[in-house]
């Protein structure tokens, strides 16, 4: 690849799961704003609920998630009581009539919850909110922690989609990231969920892990395809040992460089496409019949989603909410979160109130990341003079046309297949907050 393009890919950039991105949230937004924004929701608004369970029982050394390792259940049970208290407090603040179309439990590993606490969390959500009959209910799980009773408890709670962490099946890679997980173990969990009536399965993979090679990556992707998941996410490993201390347990020398990362990512994409999967956005794939293939794609903190709810409410430590007026984030340390819930029912520590410019830029960035196009005409139509100014900035993309990353079309630009791995770099052209000298991001692929 042209060294100029490699340099673009190697640039540390946000993943644009939000705009403005989380490092720009600040303490000017707190509980007062959250209270106001919740009570201003329209009674016919539809909500998406995200519950964060920040616990795992072993540490994967590559992990960048907000989680804490515990071998005891007591802290998990205590935490869950606080989450239930937060659910009560938030539900009290929203107008009657607001309904819930999506529920997502993420982490950490929500499967660490006991079957009793799974039922308690689900019952609390369903008793405090109007959950629509055909609402989606997805849970992220670590297949190493699953047993029949937990699978039955999740199915009983109305689970519609399960998201399993796999990362890589090569024992050498697994040893280097402290995560031993066999194919057989994973297949058994997939089958048990299917037998329990949960037919929508997502698998997470990571490329760029220590000791990964295109050959080992190929074996992993073939094994994953054999499991027949409906969706696959292939995340680029975010190796940030300066910020994430436990990643220092991984030998830097064993982490593939930018050329190998690109080769791994392209190999995985090609195998998934050859197996009939549709590629979406930067790193998601789905079967042609999956709702993701036919519904407009959106970007949120979990990556790509079909969720079109009017607001996303995040519950639990570190969880982020997106309301029409802006973002709010709960306190990250579990003790701080629990203290705030005890004091006032909610735990907002920071956030960001959207300016009209933020909204116009967010629209441009989300459209690029999801639909692979820069919507110049829509910007002008929907955001007036501001939109016209940002549409004009779109001309910056013309510089990428000569490299074949984008093509100019009458109403803006479209990103080519060659340009897909560069989506974060293209989106960064419209990020007014970007200062890579201050915040730490992973490489653009
Ligand atoms: C909350 S975990 C998934 C559920 C469960 N804890 C597990 O690991 O099986 C979310 C996903 O984030 C991805 N992830 C975690 N750390 C990452 C990193 N440093 N770089 C890229 N992806 C990462 C992994 O693919 C992981 O499956
Ligand atoms: S990758 Fe999943 S299981 Fe491993 S530490 Fe991170 S959140 Fe926990």
String of DSSP letters for 248-309: GGS-GGGS--HHHHHHHHHHHHHHHHHTTPEEETTTEEE-TTSHHHHS--EEETTEEE----
Q: Is 142 in the pocket of ligand 2 (CB under 6 A)?
A: yes
Total residues found in the chain within this entry: 445
Substitution site in 53, 59, 203 for ligand 2 pocket (most atoms within 8 Å of beta carbon)? 59
Q: Is 303 in the pocket of ligand 1 (CB under 6 A)?
A: no
Cα(278) to ligand 2 centroid in Å equals: 27
Please say whether the beta carbons of 86 and 35 come within 8 A.
no
Substitution site in 52, 54, 56, 176 for ligand 2 pocket (most atoms within 8 Å of beta carbon)? 56
Q: Is 108 in the pocket of ligand 2 (CB under 6 A)?
A: yes
Rounded Cα distance, 348 and 330, in Å: 4
| Ligand 1, atom nearest to 60 Cα | 8
Cα(108) to ligand 1 centroid in Å equals: 8
The token pair at 174 is 């697994």
Q: Is 60 in the pocket of ligand 2 (CB under 6 A)?
A: yes
Please say whether the beta carbons of 318 and 52 come within 8 A.
yes
Rounded Cα distance, 238 and 261, in Å: 11
Instruction: Burial-class residue 296 by CB neighbours within 10 Å (0-12, 13-18, 19+).
Output: exposed
Please say whether the beta carbons of 442 and 206 come within 8 A.
no
Q: Is 317 in the pocket of ligand 1 (CB under 6 A)?
A: no
Write down the pLDDT at residue 443: 73
The token pair at 191 is 């089958």
Each of the 445 residues of the chain gets a pLDDT tens digit; together they read 888 999 999 888 999 999 999 999 999 999 999 999 999 999 999 999 999 999 999 999 999 999 999 999 999 999 999 999 999 999 999 999 999 999 999 999 999 999 999 999 999 999 999 999 999 999 999 999 899 999 999 999 999 999 999 999 999 999 999 999 999 999 999 999 999 999 999 999 999 999 999 999 999 999 999 999 999 999 999 999 999 999 999 999 999 999 999 999 999 999 999 999 999 999 999 999 999 999 999 998 888 998 889 999 999 999 999 999 999 999 999 999 999 999 988 999 999 999 999 999 999 999 999 999 999 999 999 999 999 999 999 999 999 999 999 999 998 999 999 999 999 999 999 999 998 666 567 776 7
Domains of the chain (ranges plus CATH)?
12-313 (3.80.30.20), 355-429 (1.10.10.920)
pTM of the model: 0.96
Cα(151) to ligand 2 centroid in Å equals: 19
Q: Is 65 in the pocket of ligand 1 (CB under 6 A)?
A: yes
Cα(56) to ligand 2 centroid in Å equals: 6
β 412-415/373-375 pair status: antiparallel
Taking only the tens place, the pLDDT of each residue in 160-170 is: 999 999 999 99
Instruction: Burial-class residue 341 by CB neighbours within 10 Å (0-12, 13-18, 19+).
Output: buried
Please say whether the beta carbons of 174 and 180 come within 8 A.
yes
SS3 content of the chain, % helix, strand, coil (to 5): 45, 20, 35
Q: Is 142 in the pocket of ligand 1 (CB under 6 A)?
A: yes
Q: Is 107 in the pocket of ligand 2 (CB under 6 A)?
A: yes
Cα(358) to ligand 1 centroid in Å equals: 29
Cα(163) to ligand 2 centroid in Å equals: 13
């Amino acid at each position: 690849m042209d060294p100029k393009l490699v340099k673009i890919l190697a640039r540390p950039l946000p993943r644009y799961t939000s705009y403005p991105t989380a490092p720009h949230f600040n303490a000017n937004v707190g509980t007062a704003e959250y209270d106001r924004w919740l009570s201003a929701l329209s009674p016919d608004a539809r909500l998406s609920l995200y519950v964060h369970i920040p616990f795992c029982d072993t540490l994967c050394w590559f992990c960048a998630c907000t989680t804490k390792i515990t071998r005891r259940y007591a802290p998990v049970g205590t935490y869950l009581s606080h989450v239930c208290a937060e659910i009560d407090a938030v539900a009290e603040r929203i107008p009657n009539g607001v309904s819930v179309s999506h529920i997502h439990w993420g982490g950490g590993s929500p499967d660490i919850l006991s079957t009793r606490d799974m039922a308690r969390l689900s019952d609390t959500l369903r008793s405090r909110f109007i959950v629509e009959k055909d609402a989606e209910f997805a849970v992220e799980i670590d297949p190493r922690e699953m047993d029949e009773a937990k699978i039955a408890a999740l199915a009983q709670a109305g689970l519609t989609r399960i998201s399993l962490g796999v990362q890589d099946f090569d024992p050498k890679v697994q040893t280097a990231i402290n995560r031993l997980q066999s194919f057989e173990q994973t297949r058994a969990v997939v089958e048990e969920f299917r037998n329990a009536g949960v037919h929508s399965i997502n698998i997470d993979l990571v490329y760029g892990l220590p000791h990964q090679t295109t050959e080992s990556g190929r074996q992993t992707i073939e094994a994953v395809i054999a499991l027949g998941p409906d969706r696959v996410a292939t995340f680029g490993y975010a190796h940030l040992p300066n910020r994430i201390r436990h990643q220092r347990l991984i030998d830097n020398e064993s982490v593939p460089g930018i050329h190998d990362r690109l080769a791994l990512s392209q190999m995985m994409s090609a195998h998934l496409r050859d197996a009939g999967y549709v590629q979406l956005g930067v790193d998601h794939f789905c079967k042609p019949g999956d709702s993701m293939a036919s519904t407009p794609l959106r970007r949120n903190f979990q990556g790509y989603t079909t969720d079109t709810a009017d607001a996303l409410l995040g519950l639990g430590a570190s969880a982020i909410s997106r309301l029409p007026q802006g973002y709010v984030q709960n306190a990250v340390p579990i003790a701080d979160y629990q203290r705030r819930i005890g004091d006032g029912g909610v735990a907002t520590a920071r956030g960001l109130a959207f300016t009209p410019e933020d909204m116009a830029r967010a629209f441009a960035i989300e459209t690029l990341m999801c639909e692979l196009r820069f919507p110049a005409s829509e910007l002008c139509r929907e955001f007036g003079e501001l939109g016209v100014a940002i549409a004009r900035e779109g001309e910056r993309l013309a510089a990428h046309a000569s490299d074949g990353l984008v093509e100019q079309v009458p109403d803006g630009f479209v990103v080519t297949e060659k340009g897909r791995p560069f989506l974060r770099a293209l989106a960064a052209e419209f990020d007014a907050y970007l200062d890579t000298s201050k915040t730490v991001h992973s490489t653009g692929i």
